[in-house]
A and B are shown apart, each in its own frame.
Chain A
């Protein structure tokens, strides 16, 4: 069984929810990222999302855009992020998901990428600018290698698209909390509650919610609605601006979820 599925199965047995932090690989260096992944695991992360820097991250807000710029300046590429995962696997068994835009994958070669990522110990893929409609190759190769393909659902998704995304997703389904980009302000309201409930009613696959969750209070609210809580920009920002307070922040999130 894939490490991601195993994590959700274990949590279900305990009645717990998944804490899924995101950090940008190579911000400010790959060595620092290696340390931070181990810290995330120590602080109770169930799954870790590793961002791959890209010059034109059109689904991301300014916090993650700038983190990507810093990582690119440090010379970080998709190849080097896969190398980092290989190194991490000697020290950690935490499920790892790569979040990368499509062009680096396309350029790498889809089949070769899936093979190399899987051999290095990557467990799942999120490609935010690739809807399942265009992902036949990525899905086919990933299935062969046991790599989870995690697709996104948004508040604008129609019923038909919800079915399509749910069918194509393995590991979990990523529900985008708002019509917007990463790091925008979130409001946990009835419409969000209803939307998440509608997705969960439609599928037995785990549903994790991300975008805009920036503090333990919001994390707690979301944990009551979904199977997992994804926190990105808030962690990336803290890691950059006040790295010393990161551990305390992570512990607060873990407790809340």
Chain B
């Protein structure tokens, strides 16, 4: 990280560690989680899909039912409160799928902070609905038309803004990525997902699940779910974006096709060339279309705690339709990658086993894009 930002990062670490110990702060956050976000989100048993797949029992953690339609609000609201504590007047954020942008704009509206969101041109096109939502919430959306015009470049631009306005502005990092203390803060704010799931699955089944599945872009919904089960005998699978397949080179599977590097303040697995330049990525889902992964994921992989795999665009799109038809739940394209892995895995497991899939977001934002992929026009003639 540039020196200009180092003092702000050190301040943020201090304020966060103090807040984490502060009973008032925790109480406020818990109160808002309940009355504003709508927590706890349900843990839902997918009976029809379970029967159809003919194997393990499938449960879905319904983060898609959280306010604004994805898990992102858990972190964005927490960081908006931190920004208030630090006396900042303005928050900025990057967004890929637009869910973190919407969540940050919501947190800013809630706290009365000024808000600007950086988003790549490509993502603005495929997530037009979320762009308009952010504007409705009073945020300015800044188009990033340099580089790959996706999430990675939106983060660069947000970091440049932060470098320029660091005295008045807090950067609401949207995932468990970036320089310390962001991976720690975001994981902590998302750990509510795992804590609730643990309690709910024991209530429903009297035992822990055999397996957890979550999609991994930066990896915040996965870290949120996994963090409560790390010490238990529970298998965990992170699902990256396989795009058009690993051989095609058009994907965002950092574990399948990447190597160790240092990028945007983090030492982690990256898609890079031999000279250390960052490669372009591809995924049908804007939220997974990113060349790096949060640093705790490589750690969990290296110690053999979490297994990482990928689902291709086609597999994710099939899962998107399958869950819609079978359960009446339209999942986000990001979450559809996790659903796709469950579809592959469940039939191979016993009927007494339990899989919990993190349904990190809802798919309303993706409906237009999926229609376009299928060649269906949605505009009235």
Contact = CB atoms under 8 A, between A and B. Distances in A.
Interface residues of A, number: 39
Given A133-B6, A156-B7, A56 B1 contact: no
B7 A180 contact: no
Contacts of A119: none
Interface stretch (B159-167, B181-189, B192-200, B232-240): B159-167
B278 A103 contact: yes
Interface stretch (A37-45, A105-113, A193-201): A105-113
Nearest to B260: A106
B156 to A, nearest CB: 5
Contacts of B7: 156-158, 161
Contacts of B272: 103, 107
B3 interface: yes
A131 interface: yes
B239 to A, nearest CB: 25
Interface stretch (A15-23, A147-155, A217-225, A246-254): A147-155
Contacts of B165: 179
Contact of A56 (B3, B5, B147, B164): B147
Given A56-B147, A161-B6, A181-B164, A129 B1 contact: yes
A105 B276 contact: yes
A56 B275 contact: no
A97 B154 CA distance: 30
Contact of B278 (A55, A59, A129, A157): A55
Interface string B255-287: 000000111110000101011111000000000
B160 A181 contact: yes
B279 to A, nearest CB: 8
A154 B3 contact: yes
Given A78-B275, A103-B278, A104-B275, A176 B263 contact: no
24 contacts: A54-B276, A55-B277, A57-B156, A58-B264, A59-B2, A61-B160, A62-B146, A72-B277, A78-B276, A103-B261, A105-B276, A106-B262, A106-B276, A129-B265, A131-B3, A131-B6, A133-B6, A154-B3, A156-B3, A156-B5, A157-B7, A176-B4, A179-B165, A179-B166
Interface of B: 1-8, 146-147, 152-153, 156, 159-160, 163-167, 261-265, 270, 272, 274-278
